[in-house]
Amino acid sequence: MTDAVEQARAAAAAAQAAAEEARRLADEAARRAEELAAALSRAADASAAPEATGAPDASTAAGGTTPGTATEPPGRAPLDATTTPEATTASTTPPSAPQSGPLGPEAVDAIRTGYAVEGTALELGALVNGRPLPDVQVRIPLGMLNRHGLVAGATGTGKTRTLQLLAEQIAANGVPVFAADVKGDLSGLAVAGQPDEKLLARTEAIGQDWRGVASAVEFYSLGGQGTGVPIRATVSGFGPLLLAKVLGLNATQESSLGLVFHHAERAGLPLVDLSDLRAVLTYLVSDQGKAELAELGGLSKQTAGVILRELVTFADQGADRFFGAPEIDTRAFLRTAPDGRGIVSLLEVPGVQDRPEVFSTFLMWLLADLFNELPEVGDTDRPALVFFFDEAHLLFSGSSKDFREQVVRTVRLIRSKGVGIVFVTQTPKDLPDDVLAQLGSRVQHQLRAHTPDDAKALRATVSTYPTSDYDLGEVLTSLATGEAVVTVMNEDGAPTPVAWTRLRAPQGSMDALPSDVLEALVASSPLLARYGTTVDPESARELLAARMESAAADAAAAQAQADAEQEAARAATAAAKEAAAQAARDERERKAAQAEYERTQREFERAERAAAGRRSRSTSTRTSRSAGRTADDPLGGLLGNGLGQTIAKEVVRGIFSTLRRRR
């Protein structure tokens, strides 16, 4: 039951949408019928006027051709670059009714007045109202270029030629230009274009007095990858936000990378190339360096590992050549030629099309560096530099909130530094609303509505334009190549009327330069001597290596000292043990000697007491026999008498006194 209800609702919504579309088509048909009737009435009045008054015909009165010359049928566009021979033949046959454009005379006059400029202006082209109107020229005041702009349109609708047209005229008025040459199509700016019949027919139809003119061009390449003066950036100068974007880091990893940059700056570790950043990351998660970030929250090994892996992949794709020294001084883009023309700086990037986010982020770095380097100049009558940001949609694809905020802030504030930005992309929806709100000039080439998303983008684009007499949804999908819907800021800062414009042709060559000519121009550049050769200054990698070597030497010396002290301690311990053992042995010997002395003393005393007892029992017997004992035993006789006993005591005392002294 629920499915049936939903299907009924969907069918009702589809029917309502179909009814609204039918109503719109009916209103459009009625409006066109009224315009056709009005045009027929005007044509009838004009044809009747010569017969009634004898006045010359309308074409002659309007400054047309005289009788006998070829005339252009009313409502028929003159032969232009897209006219075929068959169309030329058909144009000689008067149409059944004069053709009319979507704008009435009042709207055409409003556009003519709205694009009238008193000061210097860039000529965009002529208004199209059924056919080009050479007398209604569409212009951009030069002073309004620092209010930024947008060139949008589907692939193949002429965006690159519009960029070339604007760059030529800006430089011709003494304002330097920077642009990225993604496909190598802009290098022809350096040589004059060559006329042909088709080109001259187109330019004549829109009132352009065309002639070939070469511009002063300086060619650059990212890191020397391509033909041009190498543009390099140091990792420190590039910064963590932009690097996080090209590495595809998430918010947590981006925050950790910012912490690493902060520490490197505080510790005096210059980050010149990617090897320096890898060295710092490795050091900060090592045992020696992890304590240095402890007070700031630390760096986890997992996050450092992710960043290191992304850096390795990034370098393997050749992006490491973009980082290094010498770093480009972006003020080089502000130079002018000796004749006063602005120099067009073209960054050749065909070698990095496989990494478009790298290219777009590098352009953002150049812009941010200009913002930091240039002084405040306020609102000037002409910009100091116009910066074309090609493939702008790549800048915001997958970007973080912080990154978008930085871009918006730079776009908003860089105008006061005298820099105008022109974003070049496919649809306005490719840019954030905060960026679109800063754009004063818009050149919108054809949009395609082949898918529901395309149709939605078309409606969103139409809703951003000022009110006009156009059915912009129809006009934007029917524009021819080289045509655009234009609205800019006039000299008073107010938006001009919306104008369907056939754009002028560039005056430089629209073909890419031959490689030998391009190489010769690059070789003659005065900037090549300064930026052509890579230098390797002392940076974080070398400083950390020296620090690690010094730490290793100090650790080795400390270890050697500790080993020596430990060996000395072991020797002292061994000596102490030996001394203690020797002392124990001496003590044992002393005690043994003392015991022997005491034993001998006791034996002696016993012997002495026994001898005294014997003497007392047989004094007489000892006396009577002493003579005989003396004769038979001289030693016994000697010990028996008083002198012998005295001698014996002295001998024993001498012996045991010596033993006592050994203690």
Residue with the larger pLDDT of the pair 246 and 48: 246
**pTM for this predicted structure:** 0.69
Element housing 539 (H / E): none
Q: Which residues pair with 499 in a beta bridge?
A: 486
Q: What is the mean pLDDT of residues 546-551?
A: 74
119 closest CA partner among 429, 490, 515: 490
Give residue-wise pLDDT tens across range 214-249.
999 999 998 877 889 999 999 999 999 889 988 888
Handedness of CA 394, 400, 406, 408 (dihedral sign): positive
> What is the C-alpha R_g of the chain?
52
pLDDT in tens, 194-214: 999 999 999 999 999 999 999
Q: Residue 23, class by beta-carbon neighbours within 10 Å (0-12 exposed, 13-18 middle, 19+ buried)?
A: exposed
> What is the strand order of the sheet 217-222 is part of?
132-141, 121-128, 499-503, 483-487, 441-444, 149-152, 419-425, 385-390, 177-181, 344-348, 217-222, 229-231
What average pLDDT does range 578-599 have in this prediction? 87
Alpha carbon distance 443, 428 (integer Å): 11
Say if residues 448 and 155 touch (Cβ distance below 8 Å). no
> Is residue 158 left, alpha or beta, with left meaning phi > 0 and alpha meaning psi from -120 to 50?
left
- What does residue 96 show for φ and ψ, rounded to 5 degrees? -65, -30
Which comes out higher in pLDDT, residue 223 or 19?
Answer: 223
Return all residues near 56 (Cβ < 8 A) that are at least 6 apart: 50
Question: What residue has token string 């290793």?
Answer: 552
Could you report how far apart the first and last alpha carbons of the chain are, in Å? 122
For residue 405, is pLDDT > 90? Answer: no
Count of residues making up the chain: 663
CA dist., res. 327 & res. 215, Å (int): 26
Question: CA 530 to CA 364: how far, in whole Å?
Answer: 23
The rounded percent of the chain whose pLDDT value lies above 90 is: 40
Lowest mean pLDDT among 186-190, 269-273, 340-344, 586-590: 586-590
Mean pLDDT of 599-618: 82
Whole-number Å distance between alpha carbons of 136 and 111: 7
Q: Is the pLDDT of residue 515 over 70?
A: yes
Kindly state the helix (H) or strand (E) to which residue 264 belongs, with its residue range.
helix 251-266
How would residue 634 be classed by pLDDT, with cut points 50, 70 and 90? low
What is the DSSP secondary structure assignment for residue 193, as one 8-state letter? -
Greatest alpha-carbon pair distance for the chain in Å reads: 210
pLDDT-derived band at 79, boundaries 50, 70, 90: very low
pLDDT tops 50 at residue 78: no
- When the pLDDT of each residue in the chain is averaged and rounded to a whole number, the result is 80
In this model, does residue 475 exceed pLDDT 50? yes
> What DSSP assignment string belongs to 48-94?
HHHHHH-PPPHHHHTT-PPTTS--PPTTPPPP-TT--HHHHHHHTSP
Pairing type for strands 499-503 and 483-487 reads antiparallel
Burial status of residue 571 (CB atoms within 10 A of its CB: 0-12, 13-18, 19 or more): exposed
* Cβ atoms of 117 and 410 closer than 8 Å: no
Model confidence at 22, pLDDT cuts 50, 70, 90, reads: low
Alpha helix (H) residue ranges in 470-539: 472-478, 515-523, 528-531
